[in-house]
Each structure stands twice: as structure tokens, then as C-alpha cells.
Amino acid sequence: MKIQVWSDIMCPFCYIAKKNFEQALAGSSFKDEVEVEWKSFQLDPTLKESSGTLSISEYMMNRKGFSKAHLDQFLNQLKEMGKNAGVTFNYDQAIAADTFPAHKLLHLAKEHGKADEMEEALFKAHFVDGKNIADVEFLVSFAEELGLDPSKARKVLAEDEYNYEVKQDIMEAQNLGITGVPYYLLDGKYAVSGAQPVELFAKALAQTYQESIVDLSEESGDNMCGIDGCSI
């Protein structure tokens, strides 16, 4: 069974969903028969112009129209959701950054069987450690820590290599009508969107695996991020 996941590093719900999905999969009897493919999605391609200059909080208020009260409420709910999923969000330290370079690095990691490891490490770097995930020097050293060739990583970030692959993922998402992430496509047939609880992921995985779907054309929720921002 193949699971394709469209995700963006700057989406907190993608991090939560990843944790919940992994817990659900780990509890299944067929976990070794599941292939997970990470796909790129960019919530804000325009961030390239101001990448690394704003905190996530400033970005949410200045670029997405969040009031201070709305933002505080959002962050409190997010921290509670993160806690339940085993994630300690340090939103005060998070930096708004162009995620395109990180997605290129993800495709490099995919070629070496390290895509899942890279995705997890990038989420942690962004949301927990407060790293600028668009900074070339950080990404190169980061790639080396994960066992990738640093000179190759630097070349990928400096040139057009993997630009096509990232854009193809995004175009594929558009063709599927995906407007927000996280988005999990199960065996090319059924979709789960948003940071769904472990129980729903477990049900969706089991039903898809058994091919005894009742109606799982799309299980969706509010806990996701789109081009206009994130909602709970």
C-alpha cells in the first residue's frame, strides 16, 4: 500500500499529522507493507523576498491578517494539540522562511532513502529549534548530519537541480484540487486531510488496506494550512 503525503515544512498541522499518522501506522499489523512518499507543497511561494526576516508570529499578523488576540488563541490551541502529539512547539523562536530550498533537499534525501528522516528533522529544526530553514549554510550542515554529501547538498541548493521535482509535486497537488496541507492520499484512491487524530488515521489505513471502504473519498477537518493561513 502506498501513501503519498503533501506537506510543507512551515505548516504546524503537517508536523502534528505526521506524528499521529506514524503512531497509527506503527500500531497496524501491516506497517511493513506500507510505502510512504513525501510530496512538496508551498503554502507561500512569495516568502522568498522576505525569507528569514520575520518571526512566524510577525508573519501571521503582518502577512496573514491575524490579530494579536487571534494569534494567541491559535498558538494556545496549537501547543495543546502539539503536546498531545508529542511535539513541543517553540513558536516564539520560529522563523518565517522560504521552504523551496528545504523541499529541494527533501528530494535529494528521497534519492538516498532518507526522505522521512529529512522531513522529521526539518520540522523539528523549524518548529522546535528555531532554525532558519532557508539558510544555505544551515541546510548544508544539516544535510551532512543526516549522512548526505555536503558538497552535493550545496550544489543542489545553488543550482536548478530538483527544482522540476518540487514544482511537479506542487502541480500534481493542484491537479488533484489540493488547496491545503497536510493531505494524505491512500493508495491513490482515498484522502485524509488536516491534522486528524490517531484513531481516524488508523481507521483509514485499515479500511484502505482491507479494501473494504465504506466511504472514505475524503476525511477532512479544519486543522490544516492553506494559502490564506492556518485554521483550527
For 192-219, write each residue's pLDDT tens digit.
Answer: 999 999 999 999 999 999 874 344 445 5
User: Which tens digit of pLDDT belongs to each residue from 29-57?
Assistant: 999 999 999 999 999 999 886 778 899 99
Q: Is the dihedral of CA 200, 71, 50, 91 positive or negative?
A: negative
What domains lie within the chain, and their CATH numbers? 2-231 (3.40.30.10)
pLDDT at 227: 63
Q: At what angle do helices 115-127 and 12-26 cross, to 10 degrees?
A: 130
Q: CA angle at residue 122 from 34 to 65, to 5 degrees?
A: 110
**Amino acid of residue 151:** S
pLDDT at 192: 97
Residue 116 confidence (pLDDT) above 90? yes
Q: Phi and psi at residue 78, in whole multiples of 5°?
A: -65, -45
Q: Of how many residues is the chain composed? A: 232
Residues 1, 28 contacting (CB under 8 angstroms): no
194: region left, alpha or beta (phi > 0 left; psi from -120 to 50 alpha): left
Distance CA 212, CA 207 (A): 6
> Mean pLDDT over all residues of the chain?
92
